[in-house]
Amino acid sequence: MTRAYRFPGKGLLIDRARKVQFTFDGRVFQGFHGDTLASALLANGQRLMARSFKYHRPRGVMTAGSEEPSALVEIHEGAQQTPNVRATMQEIYEGLDARSQNRLGSLGFDLLAVNDRLSPFLGAGFYYKTFMWPRAFWEKLYEPAIRRAAGLGRLSGRADEAAYEKAFAHCDLLIIGAGPAGLMSALTAGRAGADVILATEDTQPGGRLLSDQPVIDGQPAPLWVDSVMAELRSLPNIRVMTRTTVTGRYDHGTFGALERVSLHKAPGEAPRECFWRIVARHAILASGALERPLAHPDNDRPGVMLASGVSAQFGRYGVDPGPLVIFSNNDSGLQTARTLTAQGVEIAAYVDPRPIAVTEDFPVYPEAQITGTRGRLGLRDVAVRHKGGTSVIAARTLALAGGWNPNIALACHLGARPVWEPVLQSFVMPPGSTPGLGIAGAAGGLLSTRAALIDGRDKALTALSALDLRAAVTDIPQAEDTPYAIAPFWAVDAGGRAWLDFANDVTTKDVKLAAQEGFTAVEHMKRYTTQGMAPDQGKSSNVAALAVLADATGQGIAETGLTTYRPPYGPVSIAALGAGGRGEGFAPVRRLTSDAKSRAMGAPMIEAGLWYRPSYFPRPGETGWREACDREVRLVRVKAGVADVSSLGKIDVQGADAGRFLDFVYTNTMSSLRPGKVRYGLMLREDGFVMDDGTCARLGPEHFLVTTTTSAAGLVMRHLDFVHQAFCADWDVRLLSVTEAWAQFSVAGPRSKEVLGRLGITPGLPFMGWRGLSLNGVPARLFRISFSGEEGYEIAVPTRYGAALFDALVAAAEAEEGGAYGMEALNVLRVEKGFLTHAEIHGRVTAGDVGLGRMVSDAKDCIGKAAAQRPGLVENREQLVGLMPVNQGEDLSAGAHLYNEKDPAERAFNQGYVTSVAPSPTLGCWLGLGFLKNGRARHGEVIRLDDGLRRRAVLVEVRDPVFFDPDGGRMRD
């Protein structure tokens, strides 16, 4: 292919010495290393790249960035087929296979373009009005047809086998955007020693300095960018992340970011994308501003672009747009014309609706408007209405410059609302509306280069002050500081269709129709017309559309308002969000720090919740689990045992309202807990049923540690997050899961003090107390709690020390004639004591059912309290009981049902069910826990345990669920 539209000697980002071949719709093209798909196709004369969503009108490139609404393509890589890729963001590489989408037939002859001929019948609201009658047609005809036509690109239907990654980063200052403001912020903060991340979605830092190439300090701006980047890369405290789009802003300084790791290369071993979670103490939004088009008849042809897109395609990639017509209502468009003509681009006309009086090296049409264009598959000429009449001007490219929208989407993600600035004719963020986030440069409405540089530095100084870091005031280089002037002009009234949303085919007529039919609120108009709901999310079209709506309703733009910005800012592949979530990555194998030691001791491993835990620790001569289990139970009851309980959920809760918050989620009171103490707690779901039980330790005045059962750790964390966000978002409380951060071990039995003493630990703790300590310089926490009914302690250390501590504890226990015990013994010990697990709190029991009704405080409210008082959850309930076989030599089985001794095993006679059983060497028989109708009043009664699956029936005596040491003296003394 010839490169007839590549300007000689231009193209800052391309390497003309490195040619690259790629295909588009099966045709072979040639570009240069550094080209995007859009720039390479434009340089080869290919302006037609896509078809619009609704009418299948021909579409070409409009921009040079992620705001591109029209040039969306599919990228094919073997089984990988990625739709809706912006041609402006896809870098070419050898063998790239790109294809157009949303067409029936070829791109040049799309059979579905018949929709364009039917456009008078397919306006806004057409679907709502048409597909109602006959009613029977909906499921058989309308819905299937709409579903087949819906969407733009297509997936392959095969599994995506490519690699993706996720990563985490922390910093003092996150700077979003690397234009003049972002670079000056990074330079100022970097010199002050702050830990800085500079993120830009572009391939190179510089922003519009690389496109417009103004003069800074007497040199072309790209040279100034190079000098700044050389210094930044020399600083060890600066991380520069290119090809990285910050997609969302969340609570507590957390940001989501998507890095395009290898999408610019042929498929290989590197991950395609990496999704980052960045936590920053402070952030600066230096994301610049996005240019918007002007609406006029037929302003959507291939070859119609934004002026900023033309500048970028020319300055960065050397694409020759000429002959070029520019239609602008502001001085930025005029400056673009001056810059391009000075570099040799042919400017056929500059058209401006304002009464400007300038003399230029190109034709200028003041008080003029463009009223139409011709060239269906590629622009040929434009019609200009001016004071002298109407002229038709031949043009290959039409550049639209309708003003600038500060790119403030990320600033709005936490609920802040922008305000209308009449001077800029744009929305900006009001001062003080985004705590922790400074808005610099064009994103803050400062549109000159010098103003952006100054603001970038000043926002960095403000952030550094908040971070208690001192910084020297950085000198500001000399740069243009031209005032910005714009006329409030949005659309040409000349008949025909004037396009606003180029992706979803929304016109000015559609917006006016929405207002006419009562959809006058901007959010209603958006949904009625689908304006701003395409893959570009209306980045360039939203403000112009609401201006047209404001005119149609007679309201001002400020009163009309703006639609709500929501994350993600740009598209994020599900594979990147779920990176690693395939195979074992979907259901990870979680191993305890004691895993290697346990396996070396011969312990079989079983799944418990999400973890693998040792079942039992066999010794020579033992022929099965039962012998080992009985020995381990006796070992804990008589000597001392050690168990790894790290899998229990651990949630760190901090803040001035932490106690108040825990009172709200627990049935009992936690705010009265004194530092150094631990309390058993119960949580209910909103429907009144028990969610989980566990302990709560007060680590400090505003610091608590909540523990959960192993299986409910994730469930409880989600529940606490939901309660915080839904019911008390303004409370000062922070939640963090620290389950994997601490390894925790239980030491239980009459000799547990001696075991700890061999490690140099003197407990000195009352029952349900805790204290911090140091083990050979390692910070640790010691709790006196028991899940065995014996005197017990749990000691926690940072996870990396877990394996060493387990080795030391087992050795100390064996020296006291004890040893390690596993899950089988742990279950027997807890059943003997009547302690609960999720076998009992399985989601259908109340606090009263499990005998803990008195833990629901009468003095306060809590989640689920009101629901738990419903008659159906109070009256005629099955209650927790203990079960002991009348013939103590018989086994019991979990899952069996309970019947009166003489009743048949039929549903109508069912009295309850068995949840847990265990062989008790302590009491010399099997024991069971279950739920029995009116169970607490039936202690001493003999009933029948009937296991239909195993064909086993056993007479059992109903007992108190606490079989062993009912007063708890062994664990409290």
Q: Answer yes or no: do 323 and 257 share one domain.
A: no
Name the residue type at position 156: S
What is the rounded (10 degree) CA torsion for 173, 653, 745, 614?
A: -90
Q: Answer yes or no: do 630 and 757 share one domain.
A: yes
Please, are residues 178 and 186 in contact by the beta-carbon 8 Å criterion? yes
Please, are residues 860 and 665 in contact by the beta-carbon 8 Å criterion? no
Please, are residues 880 and 935 in contact by the beta-carbon 8 Å criterion? yes
681-691 per-position pLDDT tens digit? 999 999 999 99
CA 104 to chain centre: 35
Q: Could you give the CA distance from residue 244 to residue 261 in angstroms, rounded to a whole number?
A: 9
Q: Could you give the CA distance from residue 923 to residue 921 in angstroms, rounded to a whole number?
A: 6
Q: Answer yes or no: do 726 and 862 share one domain.
A: yes
Q: Answer yes or no: do 663 and 526 share one domain.
A: no
| 587 HSE (CA, 13 A, CB side) | 6
End-to-end CA distance of the chain: 89
Tell me whether residue 584 is in a domain.
Answer: no
Ranges of H-type helices in 98-257:
114-117, 126-130, 137, 143-149, 180-191, 209-212, 221-234
Q: Answer yes or no: do 677 and 749 share one domain.
A: no
Structural domain including 325 reads: 292-402
Tell me whether residue 963 is in a domain.
Answer: yes
How many CB atoms sit inside 10 A of residue 109's CB? 10
Q: What is the CATH number of the domain that holds 262?
A: 3.50.50.60
| 272 HSE (CA, 13 A, CB side) | 23
Q: Answer yes or no: do 785 and 828 share one domain.
A: yes
Last residue of a domain, one of 816, 851, 867: 867
Q: What is the CATH number of the domain that holds 746?
A: 3.30.1360.120
**Residue 160 DSSP SS3:** coil
**Residue 258 DSSP SS3:** strand
**In the prediction, which pLDDT does 2 show?**
44
DSSP states along 872-907: GGTSS-EEEEEEEESSTTS---TT-EEEETTS-SSG
Question: For the purposes of burial, counting CB atoms within 10 Å of the CB of 627, is it exposed (0-12), middle (13-18) or buried (19 or more)?
Answer: middle
**In the prediction, which pLDDT does 584 show?**
79
* Placement of tokens 């303004």 in the chain: 730
Last residue of a domain, one of 519, 538, 569: 569
CA 475 to chain centre: 38
Question: For the purposes of burial, counting CB atoms within 10 Å of the CB of 65, is it exposed (0-12), middle (13-18) or buried (19 or more)?
Answer: buried
DSSP states along 434-503: STTEEE-GGGGT--SHHHHHHHHHHHHHHHHHHTT---PPPPPPPB--PPP-B----B--SSS-BEEETT
Q: What is the CATH number of the domain that holds 936?
A: 2.40.30.110
**In the prediction, which pLDDT does 114 show?**
84
Please, are residues 569 and 409 in contact by the beta-carbon 8 Å criterion? yes
Please, are residues 144 and 415 in contact by the beta-carbon 8 Å criterion? no
What is the rounded (10 degree) CA torsion for 700, 703, 708, 712?
A: 180
Q: Could you give the CA distance from residue 909 to residue 857 in angstroms, rounded to a whole number?
A: 35
What is the rounded (10 degree) CA torsion for 357, 362, 368, 371?
A: -170
**In the prediction, which pLDDT does 290 show?**
97
Tell me whether residue 3 is in a domain.
Answer: no
CA 99 to chain centre: 30
Q: Could you give the CA distance from residue 233 to residue 688 in angstroms, rounded to a whole number?
A: 57
Q: Answer yes or no: do 387 and 410 share one domain.
A: no
**In the prediction, which pLDDT does 714 show?**
93
Tell me whether residue 439 is in a domain.
Answer: yes
**In the prediction, which pLDDT does 149 show?**
67
Residues contacting residue 357 through CB under 8 Å, at least 6 positions apart: 366
Tell me whether residue 178 is in a domain.
Answer: yes
Q: What is the CATH number of the domain that holds 514?
A: 1.10.10.1100
Residues contacting residue 685 through CB under 8 Å, at least 6 positions apart: 691, 719, 843, 863, 864
Q: Answer yes or no: do 71 and 210 share one domain.
A: no
**In the prediction, which pLDDT does 535 show?**
87
Q: Answer yes or no: do 215 and 278 share one domain.
A: yes
Q: Which of 44, 90, 83 is nearest to 64 (CA)?
A: 90
Q: Could you give the CA distance from residue 795 to residue 773 in angstroms, rounded to a whole number?
A: 10
**In the prediction, which pLDDT does 121 show?**
63
Long-range contacts of 339-342 (CB under 8 A, 24+ apart): 339/212, 339/213, 339/311, 340/310, 340/311, 340/314
Question: For the purposes of burial, counting CB atoms within 10 Å of the CB of 948, is it exposed (0-12), middle (13-18) or buried (19 or more)?
Answer: exposed
**In the prediction, which pLDDT does 1 show?**
39
Q: How many structural domains are present in the chain?
A: 7
Last residue of a domain, one of 847, 867, 887: 867
Q: How far is CA 922 from CA 24, 331, 751, 758, 792, in A?
A: 77, 90, 18, 28, 18
Q: Could you give the CA distance from residue 693 to residue 682 in angstroms, rounded to a whole number?
A: 5
Tell me whether residue 943 is in a domain.
Answer: yes
Tell me whether residue 132 is in a domain.
Answer: no
Q: Is the dihedral of CA 580, 584, 586, 587 positive or negative?
A: negative
Q: Answer yes or no: do 828 and 964 share one domain.
A: no
Enumerate residue ranges in the chain where pLDDT < 50. Answer: 1-2
851-876 per-position pLDDT tens digit? 999 999 999 999 999 999 999 999 99
Q: Answer yes or no: do 351 and 382 share one domain.
A: yes
**Residue 867 DSSP SS3:** helix
Q: Which of 233, 241, 235, 174 is nearest to 204 (CA)?
A: 241
**In the prediction, which pLDDT does 219 show?**
94
**Residue 354 DSSP SS3:** coil
Q: Could you give the CA distance from residue 764 to residue 784 in angstroms, rounded to a whole number?
A: 9
Tell me whether residue 624 is in a domain.
Answer: yes
Q: Answer yes or no: do 936 and 880 share one domain.
A: yes
Q: Is the dihedral of CA 278, 282, 284, 285 positive or negative?
A: positive
DSSP states along 7-29: PTT--TT-EEEEEEEEEETTEEE
**Residue 629 DSSP SS3:** helix
Q: Could you give the CA distance from residue 783 to residue 677 in angstroms, rounded to a whole number?
A: 9
Q: Could you give the CA distance from residue 162 to residue 164 in angstroms, rounded to a whole number?
A: 7
**In the prediction, which pLDDT does 608 show?**
87
Q: Could you give the CA distance from residue 770 to residue 246 in angstroms, rounded to a whole number?
A: 43
**142 secondary structure, DSSP code:** I
